[in-house]
Structure 1
Amino acid sequence: MYTIVIADDEAELRQALVRRINWKEVGFEVVGEAENGAEALELVEKLEPDLLLTDVRMPFMSGIELARAVREIRPNIQIAFLSGFDDFTYAQQAIQYNIISYLLKPISSKELTEELKKIKQKIDVKFQEFTKKNAEQEQQNLMVFFMPLLLDSFSDTQGEDREEALTQEAVSRGFIKPEHTYMHYTVLVTSFWDEKGRNRTSEGDMNAVNLILRKYIRYVSFYTDGRIVSLLAGTRTSLTKYLHIIVEDISQSVRRIMSLTASIGVSRMVPGLGHCHEAYLEAMDALGYARRSDTGVSFISDIERTATLDQEMVQAAVNEIESLLRSGTEEELRAYLEQLFADLEQEDTPAMNIQLVMVQLIAAVFRVVNAVADSEAIQNLQKTFPLLGQLFFENPREMKERYLAFCLAARELAAEHRKKSSSVICDRALSIMESRFMDPELSLNSISGEISVSPNYLSTLIKRSTGSTFIDLLTRKRMAAAKKLLLETPMKIREISEKCGYNDQHYFSYCFKKYEGISPNACRRKHEEG
């Protein structure tokens, strides 16, 4: 059974739709009704319906504006327009927002029922395509080239010559067009997990990820070792515009259609194909964070302020230590080090080799800490644990105890600074909102762009810190300011609405009444009479 939210400012028509349609018969359940676009957007964010049926012309926010806003917060939701004949051409302008159907008014219950059945069939097909296990021939051809490029950075040629050769190869394989050779690239690493924490990712699941990627951007995907690796190509502008929508679409679709949880790690943007291996390593690091994040999505740029150092010569043990420091538990770290040092002793490893391993292990810890902590904290850690000078005088068991204590201290330090960094980011965003709430263009996206984090990450930080969404906080601030102006100044309602970030006086009055339970004029009169 699919869920639907209906938005129409004509109350009689909206209620007639709800009453006269046998929703269960057509495969839908009405979970919400809205009388304007702003209210519909709130319901979509709260209820996460499968379908939004909306009138094109509504107060405060048109159907097209609503579709654009919905695509930013719930990109996997299907949208159908209900419009008059005169609005149809206007409604078709929203084709870029993947509208599933256009329904013309007036429409009878029978006609609407038939249209809803067709919409259900389209959604059924989308669900089936999402879970279909296949791989395209074009993708197979691209995988031959891109898979080793991402997983192994070794090459006989370096620098500009290598970049030019890689670009020309990508052009010859049809991945990018000859006139689009100056592209940027980002790597996503995705895995699917069930409620018991078991990895359920299979090679066939690439189709589900690719089905979403092809809606937005040029890509190539391949499967390896329980995860789907996707290389996205585009201009810096297009990647910035679509990246957070893509990861939300994947996350929401996997949860809704497959009843699984998606973990998605996202690298920084890199300016050429020669940097793809480096981006892959960043995405893998981000995936480690994502597994234990609230949203299941992690952009490495949100967590680590500098790119991870080159790990080409780092052994498997170093990779595991870094992963455990980022997202493992203390118990997992202890258990791994016990096994690692036991293996070193059993294999009768020469002392010099153990010391070389230890140098790399210590460097790995400082690499992780350096990504999130300031220089003073790192220097204090180094003074507390001067390990390098002691390596040549200790046996493996003594090394293990000292290194374990060092790792635990570093883990605590990194966690503390990540928390502090998150708090700083959240405080800065709230400060911007506090000082610029009167700007009608202020939004979660505009603030996240200003402080250089993803909207997904900032939204999560704000919700975790305050218990409220960004929209709730902004509305609350605007309403508080509006009430103060109403009661303490002789300003006109229109002037107050503009002063508080609303271009539309009627929309301001609607929001004020919804928030305060009374209209602005009535609020002022009540205060004057009291």
Structure 2
Amino acid sequence: MRLYKIMIVDDEAEVRQAIARKIDWRAVGFEIVADAENGRDALEKAETLELDVVLTDIKMPFMDGLELGAELARRKPNLKLIVFSGFDEFEYAKEAIKLNVVEYVLKPVNAAELTAILDRVRGTLDAEIEQRRNIRQLTQAYQESLPLLREKFLLDLLRGPMDPQVLEAQAERFGLAVREGAYKVAAVCDIVHGGEGRPALSDELVPVSVRQMLSDALWDRCGSEIVLGVPSILVATAWERDPVESLMRLLGEVCTECKRILGVTLAVGIGRPCQSLAELCRSCAEARTALEYRAVVGLGKPIYIQDMERLDRTAPEWDGHREQQLLSVIKFGTREQIAAMVDKLLSDGEGEWSDQSRVLGILGTLLSILRRCRLGEEAMLGPRGSWIKLLAEDAPMEALRDWLLSVCLNMSGCMDQRRVSTAKRLVEEAERYIREHYPDSGLSVDRLCEHLHISQSYFSTIFKQETGRSYVQYLTDVRMEHAVELLRATDDKTYMVAEKVGYDEPNYFSYVFKKRFGVSP
């Protein structure tokens, strides 16, 4: 039996320990993976854990259960919340929190009552999983998917430019949900099989279930259309406000749910926002390009194209299948894969290298890639005179092949170095910004990412890779370093030191300080 993961949150250690002891957790289908003594602590732990349920008290210092519940509902909409509170807070709690709360428990917590509640919550979680795995329902949904003409129109809309008049007429005819909204953005999802175990469903039904998860995640948050393409699932969305952070968060949750429930991993690319239906094909092309960076970022998380290609501020053009193949292998391939691609492009189809005209065609593609990626022509190809002379002298195909391979390897190394150095510069800028603004109690990861012009998901990934710490850990360490300096070098009271290092609440400052150093300020 799969055990659901639960976290217990209460400011009294005795209460947390008592709850942990009172229940036979495995018997009711749960395991305790964490506990926390206040809402802030719980929120930090929830960001790094795969949780199904949070059991939280209402009254806690620094961030109470109501604030925690609201924040968890925003960040992890699939997580279930069980709230326990005193009698005088009970009705208030039921009114105050609407999102994610599945059960309320009245203090003192009774083992029999809590066991019954956990049984019901487990039943809810089981039913949700079963609904997504129900072959009969999924087969019916597959057979009753969008009519063929509507599906074809959506695919055409996302794959390339259309006649504006035809586009508007067809969008009106099919009642597309993405007609309205100031911002439109596309995403592309690939399903990656393999890894541990087998998928919970057949290959035919997994995409249907993923499509339903995407639909559930986006429902009532934006206008959306989802197409079961081959091999990718294409997503078009429309929003009233800049949607990137919201879309990254929602699709990140879908990635987690697909791994947990279906046993498959998603690769998700997101294009830049645009303002019209006609531009959605450009956003979709960018989303496909973003997918290629999964070799760098990894699977199971959304990849936003602007995070990956910050140095190219112009929208990349979709220049054909061959160019995209070559660009992809130059960006992410090994030396052997790049060599194999060059040989394939030079081949006439029978394993023999063709004439010099094919070399010129490959060179034209490479020049297009150089312009698209803003790589210096001379730095990549060598002095113009030398390679023009090589072509003009009717050099042997072996020599031309070696030259093309050296150019591709040079480009690959440059792109890899640019990627690493760009991430490093972003982290250095983030560290500088934190050290300059740590006294501001309102400093948040949202504000920092807005300053850096990158998404929170990508920032968290590269920051952890470069520093070995999360944003919250790094900010806390910086504040604690300066707190120690102030306590040693000045006669400031504790509340004054707290304010100078970014804590509005002296009590919370003391709590963090003692947790960090083992003694009070």
Report the TM-score range of the alignment, normalised by the length of the smaller protein: 0.7 to 0.9
Alignment of 1:380 onto 2:385: no
1:437, 1:477 within 8 Å by CA — same for their partners in 2?
yes
The 1-side partners of 2:391 and 2:215 are apart by: 49
Q: Is the 8 A contact 2:177 2:225 kept in 1?
A: no
**Pair 458,499 (structure 1): closer, same or farther in 2 beyond 3 Å:** same
Partner AA of 1:495 in structure 2: M
The answer (yes or no) to whether the contact 1:219–1:232 under 8 Å persists in 2 is yes
- Report deviation, 1:152: 3.1
Aligned residues: 502
Counterparts in 2 of 1:446 and 1:176: CA distance versus 1, 3 Å: same
**SS of the counterpart of 1:24?**
coil
Output the CA distance in 2 between the equivalents of 1:401 and 1:197. 43
From 3, 6, 10, give the equivalent of 2:5.
Answer: 3
* 3-state SS of 2:340 partner: helix
Instruction: Determine the structure 2 residue equivalent to 1:194.
Output: 194
Counterparts in 2 of 1:128-207, with a 5 A limit?
Answer: 128-131=130-133, 133=138, 135=141, 137=144, 139-140=146-147, 142-153=150-161, 155=162, 157=163, 162=164, 166-167=167-168, 169-176=170-177, 180=180, 182-195=182-195, 202-204=206-208, 205-207=210-212
Structure 1 residues 504, 122: closer, same or farther in 2, change over 3 A?
same
Shift of the alpha carbon at 1:111?
A: 1.9
Cα deviation for residue 167 of structure 1 reads: 4.9
User: 2: distance between equivalents of 1:183 and 1:46?
Assistant: 30
Name the CA distance, whole Å, in 1 between partners of 2:56 and 2:166.
50
One of 232, 250, 253 as aligned partner of 1:249: 253
- How big is the shift at 1:365? 3.3
1:430: Cα distance to partner?
1.0
Match of 2:480 in 1: 479
Q: Which residue pairs with 1:319 in the alignment?
A: 324
Q: Does 1:279 align with 2:283?
A: yes
User: What is the distance in 2 between the residues matched to 1:101 and 1:329?
Assistant: 53
Equivalent residue for 2:236, pick from 219, 228, 231? 231
Q: Residue 342 of structure 2 aligns with which residue?
A: 337
Partner of 1:523: none
For residues 76-117 of structure 1, the C-alpha deviation after alignment (integer angstroms, 9 at most, x for no partner) is: 43333223453544554443x433434444552222211111
Q: Deviation at 1:343? A: 2.7
Q: Which residue of 1 aligns with 2:317?
A: 310
CA distance in 2, matches of 1:324, 1:225: 21
For residues 55-77 of structure 1, the C-alpha deviation after alignment (integer angstroms, 9 at most, x for no partner) is: 22211112233234445665543
Q: Does residue 267 of the first structure (1) align with residue 248 of the second (2)?
A: no
Distance 1:290 1:215, change over 3 A: farther
SS in 1 for 2:63: coil
Structure 2 residue aligned with 1:404: 405
CA contact (8 A) 1:345 1:396 kept: no
Amino acid of the structure 2 residue aligned with 1:190: D
CA–CA distance in 1 between the matches of 2:75 and 2:472? 12
Aligned to 2:117: 115
Contact 1:88/1:104 (8 A) holds in 2 = no
> Residue 476 of structure 1 aligns to which amino acid in structure 2?
D
5 Å-filtered alignment, 1:323-472, equals 323-343=328-348, 352=357, 354=358, 357-367=361-371, 369-370=373-374, 377-384=376-383, 387=387, 390-391=390-391, 393-394=394-395, 396-472=397-473
Task: Decide whether aligned partners of structure 1 residues 378 and 342 sit closer, same or farther in structure 2, where only a CA change above 3 A counts.
Answer: closer
CA displacement at 1:290 relative to structure 2: 1.6
Q: Structure 1 residue 26: deviation in Å? A: 1.4
In structure 2, do the counterparts of structure 1 residues 83 and 165 end up closer, same or farther at CA, with 3 Å as the change threshold? Answer: farther
User: Does structure 2 retain, via aligned residues, the 8 Å contact 1:219–1:231?
Assistant: yes
Give the 3 Å change call, closer, same or farther, for CA 294–144 of structure 1 in structure 2. closer
The residue correspondences of 1:56-71 to structure 2 (distance < 5 A) are: 56-70=58-72
**SS of structure 2 residue aligned to 1:498:** helix
Matched AA of 1:300: I
Deviation track 1:340-380 (CA, whole Å, cap 9, x = no partner) reads 2123676996755x25622442134314542xx5xxx5542
Look up the match of 1:222. Answer: 227
The worse-fitting range, judged by mean Cα deviation, of 103-112 and 48-57 is 103-112
Secondary structure class of the residue paired with 1:326: helix
Aligned residue for 1:480, secondary structure, equals helix
Q: Is the 8 A contact 1:322 1:368 kept in 2?
A: no
How far, CA to CA, are the matches of 1:415 and 1:56 in structure 2?
A: 49
| Percentage identity across paired residues of the two chains | 27
Q: The residue matched to 1:403 in structure 2 has which SS?
A: helix
Is the contact made by 1:2 and 1:29 (CA closer than 8 Å) also made in structure 2?
yes
Tell whether the 8 Å contact from 1:64 to 1:91 is kept in structure 2 after alignment. Answer: no
Question: Can you list the C-alpha shifts for 1:311-339, whole angstroms capped at 9, x where unaligned?
Answer: 25x2x322210111222222211112222
Instruction: Name structure 1 gaps, 5 residues minimum.
Output: 521-530
**1: CA distance between counterparts of 2:251 and 2:389?**
46
Task: Give the counterpart letter for 2:257 in structure 1.
Answer: S
Cα deviation, 1:254-290, whole Å, max 9, x if unaligned, reads 2322333321111111111111111111111111102
How far apart are the structure 1 equivalents of 2:353 and 2:14?
A: 83
| Alignment partner of 2:20 out of 18, 27, 37 | 18
Larger CA deviation: 416-425 vs 142-151 = 142-151
User: Which of the pair is proportionally richer in helix?
Assistant: 1
SS at structure 2 position matched to 1:236: coil
Contact 1:217 1:234 in 2 (8 A): yes
C-alpha change, 1:258 and 1:409, in structure 2 (3 Å) is: same
Q: Is the 8 A contact 1:325 1:365 kept in 2?
A: no
Structure 1 distance, partners of 2:126, 2:388, is 61
- Map 1:498-509 → 2, pairs under 5 A: 498-509=499-510
Instruction: Please say if residues 198 and 263 of structure 2, whose CA atoms lie closer than 8 Å, have aligned partners that are also in contact.
Output: no
